């Protein structure tokens, strides 16, 4: 049977209270009063211990739930990253790459878990992390986009507003272009999306092929 120690402590304190009279203010029965006060102290101590134990149990339950929630969240993130890396399209790859880099800044690296998930799916982790596009060939200065179109970066590319963009480096697995007339710098795929069609500097035909 469960004992309500708080109630027992209050009961003993009530029984051990002082009785006042016209001549004196002493306990009516010193032995009984001492007994009740001691019992009240015992029950009060047990009640305090029960409260502490209940608090500790609540903390343990909350900690267990938090650990389970974090484990589930980690599993979901690992699946998401592996899925996007495995698709091998530029936007999904960037999404996965950016997410893992953000997690790294908070000390939550998931690379090894992602590698294991990729291997379970018979996907080479090294190739998956490299990304869907090859780097710009430094010898030929050419780059092949996801659609299989090869862009010659020896020449400038003219956007629909007549601005000439020249290759100046690499960004996110693709060419980084610079426009001298505007001073702007942007990736070739972004220029294509927002300023197409693009015309090679020495050709009258627009390059209007999707990435």
Indicate if 37 and 72 belong to the same structural domain. no
pLDDT tens-place string over residues 138-164: 778 888 776 667 888 888 999 999 999
5-15 vs 30-87: helix crossing angle, rounded to 10: 160
Indicate if 56 and 70 belong to the same structural domain. no
Residue 123 within any structural domain of the chain: yes
Number of domains in the chain: 3
Indicate if 70 and 122 belong to the same structural domain. yes
Q: pLDDT at position 139, please?
A: 74
Indicate if 54 and 70 belong to the same structural domain. no
Name the range with the highest mean pLDDT among 41-55, 143-157, 194-208. 143-157
Domain that holds residue 49: 5-18+27-61
Indicate if 49 and 94 belong to the same structural domain. no
Residue 209 within any structural domain of the chain: no
Residue 156 within any structural domain of the chain: yes
Mean pLDDT for the chain overall: 77
- What gap in Å lies between CA 134 and CA 147, rounded to an integer? 13
Q: What are all long-range contacts of 31-37, with beta carbons under 8 Å and residues at least 24 apart?
A: 36/12, 37/12, 37/13
């Amino acid at each position: 049977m469960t004992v309500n120690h708080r109630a027992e402590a209050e009961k003993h304190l009530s029984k051990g209270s002082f009785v006042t009279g016209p001549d004196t203010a002493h306990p009516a029965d010193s032995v009984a009063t001492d007994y009740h006060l001691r019992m009240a102290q015992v029950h009060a101590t047990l009640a305090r211990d029960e409260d502490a134990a209940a608090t500790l149990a609540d903390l343990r339950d909350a900690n267990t739930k938090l650990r389970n929630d974090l484990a589930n969240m980690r599993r979901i993130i690992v699946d998401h990253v592996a899925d996007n890396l495995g698709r091998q399209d530029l936007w999904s790859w960037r999404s996965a790459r950016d997410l893992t880099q953000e997690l790294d800044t908070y000390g939550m690296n998931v690379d090894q878990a992602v590698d294991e998930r990729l291997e379970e799916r018979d996907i080479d982790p090294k190739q998956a992390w490299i990304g869907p596009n090859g780097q710009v060939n430094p010898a030929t200065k050419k780059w092949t986009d996801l659609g299989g179109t090869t862009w010659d970066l020896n020449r400038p590319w003219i956007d629909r507003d007549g601005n000439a963009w020249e290759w100046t480096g690499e960004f996110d697995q693709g060419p980084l272009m610079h426009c001298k007339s505007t001073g702007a710098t942007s990736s070739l795929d972004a220029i294509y999306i927002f300023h197409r069609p693009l015309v090679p500097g020495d050709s009258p035909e627009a390059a209007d092929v999707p990435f």
